[in-house]
Amino acid sequence: MLPLDAAAYTNRWRTRHPGEKALLSLGLLVLAVALPTWPGAAIVGVAALVLVLGPAGLAPRALWRAVRVPLGFVVTGMLPLLVAIGGQPWIAWDPTGWPRALELGGRAVAALLCLLLFAATTPLADLLPRLEKLGVPPAVTEIASLMYRMLFLLLESIRVIRDAQAGRLGFRTWPTTFRSLTGQGAAVFVRAFDRARRLEHGLASRGYNGALHVLVPARPISPPFLIATTALLAAIVASTLLLAP
């Protein structure tokens, strides 16, 4: 299981209605994008971080494992703003790019924490069946659900193939590593195609009629949670207006 999925199934907000968490996370995300980076996005990022580690109960180590790869993309996106191209020399350090880089990084990190607040507290199995009530076509949710389940099977296949190749010294040198990676890609493609074919035959043999019916546990919406969410969003907007230069 991926770290993010493990956190989604073990956090304190696991039994809350996905709509409550969506309102909170998407509301914070809108504020992170609409408000100024300082102090608006900074306040939003701190609020999302406190909610993830506090009420949601996500462990700091699990949070770091989930956020480290997206943070790498954020840092990569900041680097081009620190250089100037086209002058003499052709590429040079631009000392005036720091404000723009920090603004971009701050807003991106705040938005990332807002999305993580929802993704790390809401399993996909709780979300997809409820999307149909919002007008999403059943075919879309079913394809997403099947792809989600196939993902773990393919990851397990990659792990098994990689362990077998490592046991045969397939990663000893650069040529053998390249040969092993190409073979791994071909083997995973064949396995994915075969699993998809067997899945199609299995559904057909069970009388698949265009809809997969699953039991969705009833989760009542908490009015106090909605009131607290609205109060938090209003407080962030008021704080930003008071602290803005």
Per-residue pLDDT of the chain (245 residues; tens, 9 = 90+): 677 777 888 888 888 888 899 999 999 999 999 888 888 889 999 999 999 998 988 888 888 888 888 888 888 888 888 887 776 777 777 777 788 888 888 899 999 999 999 988 888 878 887 887 777 787 787 788 778 777 777 888 888 888 888 888 888 888 888 888 888 888 888 888 888 788 778 877 777 666 666 667 778 888 999 999 999 999 999 998 888 77
Local structure of residue 245 (DSSP, 8 states):
-
Q: Which helix (H) or strand (E) holds 188?
A: helix 174-205
Calculate helix-pair angle for 42-53, 18-34, nearest 10 degrees: 160
What CA–CA distances, in Å, run from 18 to 11, 39, 53, 61, 131?
13, 29, 18, 24, 10
DSSP tally for the chain: helices H, then strands E: 9, 2
Characterize 217-235 residue by residue with b for buried, 16 or more Cβ atoms within 10 angstroms of its Cβ, and e for exposed.
eeeeeeeebeeebeebbee
pLDDT at 48: 93
Which tokens sit at 206? 């069970």
pLDDT at 225: 92
For residues 156 and 7, give the distance between their C-alpha atoms in angstroms, rounded to a whole number.
19
Residues 6 or more apart in contact with residue 18 via CB below 8 angstroms: 122, 126, 127, 130, 219
pLDDT at 205: 79
pLDDT at 237: 92
For residues 239 and 234, give the distance between their C-alpha atoms in angstroms, rounded to a whole number.
9
pLDDT at 29: 93
Q: Are 180 and 165 in contact (CB under 8 A)?
A: yes
pLDDT at 199: 79
Q: Are 25 and 118 in contact (CB under 8 A)?
A: yes
Q: Are 15 and 219 in contact (CB under 8 A)?
A: yes
For residues 52 and 63, give the distance between their C-alpha atoms in angstroms, rounded to a whole number.
8
pLDDT at 211: 66
Q: Where are the domains of the chain?
A: 3-122+218-243, 130-205
Kind of pairing, strands 83-85 and 91-93? antiparallel
Q: Which helix (H) or strand (E) holds 88?
A: none
pTM (two decimals): 0.78
Characterize 33-55 residue by residue with b for buried, 16 or more Cβ atoms within 10 angstroms of its Cβ, and e for exposed.
eebebbbbbbbbbebbbebbeee
